[in-house]
Amino acid sequence: MTGPVFDAAFRETLELLLAWRRDVRHFQTRPLPEGVLDRLLEIACRGPSVGNAQPWRFVRILSPERRSALADQVDAQKADAGKRYAGERKALYEGLKLHGLREAPEIVAVFCDEQDGAGHGLGRATMPETLCWSVVTAVHTLWLAARAQGIGLGWVSIIDPAELNTLLDVPQRWRFVALLCLGYPARETETPELVRHGWQERLDPATTRLVR
């Protein structure tokens, strides 16, 4: 069986997609077209998973109360994490917008079902964390599929996972992985926001490689 051949033009556009992906924190408030989010979540399920366990669980947040509670919690965590910085770095930190939870048209929480039997434990006897990593690749798949439609995604990780299951009324055996904002970005750019604000430059890829 021979699969599709991906030509040079596609590969070039794929590289553009990767280059323009971005972690978005500034969103327009206009809604996504009906059905688009469901379709994106379907595509996300094409991410790889260890033992084909497909442990991803997506929770679309529609309740304004829950959205507001999430935003409040993240704001509190941002303030708390800021205590570790001082001087110029602290000023930089305070100028960063770290989430669009109050204005993005869609909020999705992502979990890993750690006790589902799917996959039968294959591939994770020595590295059980690979189950959770499968959910991470599903989020990345969603990210790319969204960006290909002009939709931005922001991954919020400054949150305490401990109380999320209760807040969102999901099974306690689900492990929290990500809180995502989705919507049309206020601006598009090839430069990561953290580079633009002087927080962290790009590293030279050559410095990340060794030969053994």
Within 144-203, which residues bind a second copy (CB under 8 A)? 144-145, 147-150, 155, 157-161, 168-170, 187-190, 192, 194-195, 199-200, 202-203
The 74-113 contact track toward a second copy, x by CB under 8 A, reads ---x--xx--xx---x---x--x-x----------x----
Q: Which is nearer to a second copy, 12 or 29 (CB)?
A: 12
What angle is formed at CA 77 by the lines to CA 73 and CA 178, rounded to 5 degrees?
A: 70
Shortest distance, position 201 Cβ to a second copy, whole Å = 8
Q: How far is the C-alpha of 91 from the C-alpha of 93, rounded, in Å?
A: 5
Q: How far is the C-alpha of 25 from the C-alpha of 186, rounded, in Å?
A: 9
Contact call for residues 68 and 103 (beta carbons, < 8 A) = no
- Regarding 19 and contact with a second copy (CB under 8 A), the answer is yes
Phi (first) and psi of residue 67, to 5 degrees: -60, -45
- Regarding 51 and contact with a second copy (CB under 8 A), the answer is yes
Contact call for residues 157 and 163 (beta carbons, < 8 A) = no
Q: Which of 34, 88, 172, 211 binds a second copy (CB under 8 A)?
A: 211
